[in-house]
Amino acid sequence: CILSHIIFTYLNVLQRKPSSVMKNQGENLTMACTTEDTDPTGLYLHLRCPEKHEVFYYDFSSKTLTSPPEFEERITVSGDPKKLTVTITSLRVNESGVYSCVFNFFDVKRVEKETNGRVSELPEHFPFEDRWEREERSNMILLVIIIFPHKLHTQCTVT
């Protein structure tokens, strides 16, 4: 019986200090999504490999979690809105890739512009709106790599 392993590497984007844990397919993963800003309205968890897609959106005011069918009943979110604990149960091999937490706020609109691999944040003011929306990427991302015995197989590379 060949067991595949999933290695989860937390990468602090600001400090570039990785740490990792190893998980078997079918195990659970618990990670923290944090922000220093006040009053987030929601949290997105994105998975990218090769294309980006949404794992879930959690709305803080209604405490509702919206996710695609493949993640239904396998995600729990708990804790303070500024420091959330996210658990994904029954991990699957095809869920490998780069996970990123994106907090949603109402005060400024975020415009993302890719520049030499970096994201520039440009606030926009909309005078006809009472509130503005802003998203902030958490400083933690999660890189998931699948390891097979005697052979390294990487489905996603981060540059």
Q: Could you state, in chain order, the average pLDDT of each consecutive group of 10 residues for the chain (159 residues)?
A: 38 40 78 84 84 90 94 94 90 80 69 41 36 46 48 40
Residue type, 90: S
**pLDDT at residue 140, as a whole number:** 52
- Residue 129 main-chain phi, psi, to 5 deg: -105, 145
**pLDDT at residue 82, as a whole number:** 84
**pLDDT at residue 153, as a whole number:** 38
Task: Indicate if the alpha-carbon torsion angle 142, 119, 82, 68 is positive or negative.
Answer: negative
Domains of the chain and any CATH numbers:
5-152 (2.60.40.10)
Report the distance separating Cα 58 and Cα 44, nearest Å. 6
**pLDDT at residue 20, as a whole number:** 57
Cβ proximity of 18 and 81 under 8 Å: no
**pLDDT at residue 22, as a whole number:** 66
- pTM as predicted: 0.63
DSSP designation for 4: P
Cα within 13 Å of Cα(115), Cβ side: 7
**pLDDT at residue 144, as a whole number:** 54
- Residue 113 main-chain phi, psi, to 5 deg: -135, 120
